[in-house]
Structure 1
Amino acid sequence: MKTTNELLLNWTIEKIKKEYNNDVALLIGNTSLKMEQDKEGSYFDYFVPINEKGNNLAETFIINGIGYDLYPRSWKRLEDMANLLDDNNLHCLADGEILYYKNEEVKNKFISLQDKLKKNLQDKELMSKKSLEKLAIAMELYQTMMFEESIGNVRMAAGFIADFLSLAVAYSNHTYFKYNQVEQIKELFVMKTIPDNFIEYYKAIINADSINELKNLCHLIILTTRKYIKMKKAPIQPSHCEINYTDLSFWYQELCYTWRRIYFYCDNKDVEKVFIWSCYLQQELNTIKEEFKLQDMDLLGHYHSNNLSDIRNQANVLEKYIVSEITTHGVQLNAFESIDEFLSRKS
């Protein structure tokens, strides 16, 4: 005797053949989110429409208390999934079972997207980037959560933070969750590497009963994930393009006045202005570090409100380093000792 899932699958395929033969390319199965007692026989997950009419196959219904959702996923959505864009439900593509296909062309197209996803999952630079993206989302959620006063809202944010951080960890391991969020902790256990205490913090979030506890745990799980991703970050590949140190000279000539400000306000013990201009300069230094492949340039780590001499000295060290990088690469600064020199050379 056939199961409900098998009878339902037969009904769906016959409906496609009779009513949507030229409108539906594929019917894909996946039982990963079904409970064990509901997994008997093959089960449809989604279909791939060919045109707008094909979308009309979509239907939701309930049979014997069980909800079913026959929904469409476009080729574009599947292609985005293969390229790890937006959609986190990678198991829908990676583990999708072809239950019906209109022809060999669409069948092979689906298989090629599965292969593309597998290839992208092994791309170190891409997966490092995607891991950082998930971490950034979790941190944005955390920022908002810190201002929430409802435990329900805080708990929901904590759940999503744990989810996005888990995705970051999975991507760092060049894999995905076969059961989406359902078995995350179980799947994390078997990954090659995970952040220190990550599962401990995840379980604690699940069992937390207060707002402060949830917020503190989210801080800890984000902190350990940041350290982990920083350690795992793919090394930057040497650029095949030559660095244009003339552009760096243009940058310095524009920013050198900021150094002058910092020196002046340090000498005059104007703490507020030193702080503000140092924050601005630090951001600029962080930007050019990546663009011109420079060393770490920490300025604000030397800021002390009750003693400005340290940050002044560090600013001077960094300025000399930038000038040295420019001049040792054969670029001459467009600098003049006086207005007379400027006018004489420009006339």
Structure 2
Amino acid sequence: MVDVFAVADIIVKHIKTHYPQDVAIVGYYGSYLQGRATERSDLDFFFIPATPRGKQVELQFIIDGISFDFWPIGWDRAERMSTSEDWSTTIIADCELMYVRSEEDLAKFMKLRETISSMGAPSNTLTLINRAEVVMRDCFTGLMKFRLAGESMDLPFCRILAQEMAANIFRSLALLNQTYYTRMYGHYREQVRNLPIKPDQLDFYLDTMMFSHSQDEIKSACEKLALDTLHLISERRNRLKGLRSYPNWMKGYYEEEKGMLNKLLTACEKGHYETAFFVATGVQDGLARILYAAEKGRWPGIFDLGEYREYYHRFSYPDLTALLDPEDFEPLRIAVLQLIEQLENHLRSEGVSMNQFDSVEDFETFYVSRL
């Protein structure tokens, strides 16, 4: 059996002799650290370069049939791991350090661990919910591949897509539960069982995805598991209590959007339907989203199916998209003017200040007095 730590010692000694200022951190993680190593296990080890020259110590090699991958993690990626943007969080959280260049490097590394330790804080909940939802987009890409392939998809590729979707769902569930996995490759399910938020039929769907010989059954299980996970994300988001604040969300919004409203008025006056189509739909949707954010204290989710328009309709803003008509632009033009007046009054009533001036002289008086 290869003495993997003797191999690591050779590398660390080489770094100390030839790259003492070029490598900040060397660490190991995985089966040897967790006491699960077998005779075929490699040593999972990495380094953080301190300079471009430090990257030269990277090496992949095999000794007596055992593979080794001494690979670099830049500080920027290590930071993403600590915030779960990169889901290899356990590497930073649980590794054992074998070499540290300086006290400053150690302090920087331990700061990353502090970030990880605060993952479960309420202040991180919305951020991690949003990331869980972003991960789910890849699942729906997989579902689209199922549909595009149709009857031509063979079982091997079907299983490849199922594996990709399962991995993304596991990742999404970890983020939703504000935690990370310490083991991978076949050990996700045992960790998910301990999570408080998970799909009720997770095991059934996973078994179908892994063991079924029917492409239709696998596809159906993938779709149902993705939808169940998405439902959990939506439920978790809806339980959050955000701070209602128009000044926080809509300061400067009207001044910027006024340019698009003017563009829409011009399109109506000139009868340019394509411009009117894109600007009207964009203005209406953008206003609906930011009204939702001002009321709820958060943006609508990626997979929101139009529920965010609730406040746009509740406040009786004009439906610009319904008035799009290449033969008659006047109703749309009148509605835009109505929206402008209504929005200004609405923002004033909510305490949102707007920088509007009647002349260049008025603007100059305002601007030069800013300190």
User: Could you say whether these structures have the same fold, taking a TM-score greater than 0.5 normalized by the shorter chain as the test?
Assistant: yes
In structure 2, the residue corresponding to 1:68 is in which secondary structure?
A: strand
In structure 2, the residue corresponding to 1:37 is in which secondary structure?
A: coil
Counterpart Cα distance in 2 of 1:200 and 1:214 = 11
Unaligned runs of at least 5 residues, structure 1: 258-278, 302-314, 332-347
Q: Which moved more, 1:201-210 or 1:215-224?
A: 201-210
Counterpart Cα distance in 1 of 2:177 and 2:110 = 23
Counterpart Cα distance in 2 of 1:51 and 1:330 = 54
Note if contact 2:44-2:68 (Cα within 8 Å) is conserved in structure 1.
Answer: no
Change (3 A) 1:106 1:247: closer
Note if contact 1:27-1:44 (Cα within 8 Å) is conserved in structure 2.
Answer: no
- Identity of matched residues, %: 18
Alignment of 1:241-252 (within 5 A): 241-242=246-247
TM-score by length of 2: 0.67
Note if contact 1:30-1:95 (Cα within 8 Å) is conserved in structure 2.
Answer: yes
Counterpart Cα distance in 2 of 1:215 and 1:135 = 16
Alignment of 1:53-132 (within 5 A): 53-85=53-85, 87-122=86-121, 123-132=124-133
Q: CA deviation digits over 1:198-247, x for unaligned, max 9? A: 22211221112122122111111011111111111162521445265997
Counterpart Cα distance in 1 of 2:147 and 2:115 = 39
RMSD value, Cα: 4.0
Shift of 1:70: 0.7
In structure 2, the residue corresponding to 1:187 is in which secondary structure?
A: helix
Counterpart Cα distance in 1 of 2:31 and 2:197 = 24
Return the letter of the residue paired with 1:20. Y
Tell me the equivalent position of 2:161: 157
Note if contact 2:2-2:66 (Cα within 8 Å) is conserved in structure 1.
Answer: no
Tell me the equivalent position of 2:191: 187
Tell me the equivalent position of 2:223: 219
Shift of 1:299: 11
Match of 1:238 among 237, 243, 246: 243
In structure 2, the residue corresponding to 1:133 is in which secondary structure?
A: helix
Match of 1:290 among 281, 289, 292: 292
Counterpart Cα distance in 2 of 1:299 and 1:77 = 34
Return the letter of the residue paired with 1:237. G
Note if contact 2:192-2:198 (Cα within 8 Å) is conserved in structure 1.
Answer: yes
Shift of 1:293: 2.7
Counterpart Cα distance in 2 of 1:24 and 1:209 = 49
Tell me the equivalent position of 2:177: 173
Note if contact 2:84-2:175 (Cα within 8 Å) is conserved in structure 1.
Answer: no
Shift of 1:319: 7.6
TM-score by length of 1: 0.71
Show structure 1 runs of 4+ deviating over 6 A: 245-248, 279-282, 298-301, 327-331
Counterpart Cα distance in 2 of 1:213 and 1:240 = 47
Unaligned runs of at least 5 residues, structure 2: 265-280, 319-338, 350-371
Q: CA deviation digits over 1:258-307, x for unaligned, max 9? A: xxxxxxxxxxxxxxxxxxxxx9999567535524438x9x9999xxxxxx
Number of equivalences:
296
In structure 1, the residue corresponding to 2:99 is in which secondary structure?
A: strand
1:12 is the counterpart of 2:7: no
Return the letter of the residue paired with 2:243. P
Counterpart Cα distance in 2 of 1:207 and 1:15 = 47
Q: CA deviation digits over 1:118-155, x for unaligned, max 9? A: 22453111111111111222122222232123332222
Change (3 A) 1:223 1:49: same
Note if contact 2:176-2:233 (Cα within 8 Å) is conserved in structure 1.
Answer: yes
